[in-house]
Amino acid sequence: MKIGPATALTAVAALVVLGVSGCEAPPNDDSPTSPAPSSRSASPHTSLYPAATGQPEIDLTITLVPGNAVDPVTSRVVCQNGKAVQPSTRADGNEACAFVKANVTSLTTPVPSDNCKKIDGGPQVADVFGRANGQLIRTSFKRTDKCQITAWDFMVPLIDPPGSK
């Protein structure tokens, strides 16, 4: 069978893409069934904390979008008995756990929007979602008016990544 130059070029390009993307060969039948850890999901801070034993009280994912054309920063806070456990990814996990435990109501109460002086505090947005003390958390913080900026400033221990100040 003859193949043309376009087909050959496509095949070579596919091999290059597969090689660059880090594809791995499928495991043989006698290998463990659990997937190999991904270097993209591994966190340098995960090993700082013990493994969870049972259901954690707090499991939150925080995504901070610092501004336009800036990559978001995502961290995770997982707490059991008031202490950070795996898979927490924050270096200040124990402090974040204490903050959430003491302020869970601030995560479930909407930020008022009436009678708030409009101020451009910047393009930052922080999304927080997950569970804390049995409550579903899904909230966002912005810097678009005085009320939002006040809420943002209060939430800094949770929404700003460690070392960002």
Counting other chains too, the contacts that 69-75 makes at CB distance below 8 Å and 24 or more residues apart are 73/161, 75/161
Give the pLDDT band (50/70/90) at residue 69: confident
Q: Of the CATH numbers 3.30.350, 2.60.40, 1.10.3470, 1.20.1630, which one belongs to the domain with range 49-159?
A: 3.30.350
Distance between CA 72 and CA 128 in Å, rounded?
A: 13
The answer to which of 5-9, 66-70, 137-141 has the lowest mean pLDDT is 5-9
Query: What are the pLDDT digits (tens) for 95-133?
Result: 999 999 999 999 999 888 788 899 889 999 999 999 999
pTM over 0.85: no
The whole-number pLDDT of residue 85 equals 96
Structure tokens at 153: 């400033």
Which residues on neighbouring strands pair with residue 51, listed in sequence order? 86
pLDDT digits (tens, 9 = 90+) for 12-51: 333 333 333 333 333 334 433 333 333 233 344 446 899 9
Please tell me the distance from the alpha carbon of residue 136 to that of residue 103, in angstroms, as a whole number: 14
70 band by pLDDT with thresholds 50, 70 and 90: confident
pLDDT reported for residue 66? 87
Average pLDDT of the segment spanning 55-73: 92
The encoded tokens of residue 127 equal 């999304």
Instruction: Give the residue extent of every domain in the chain.
Output: 49-159
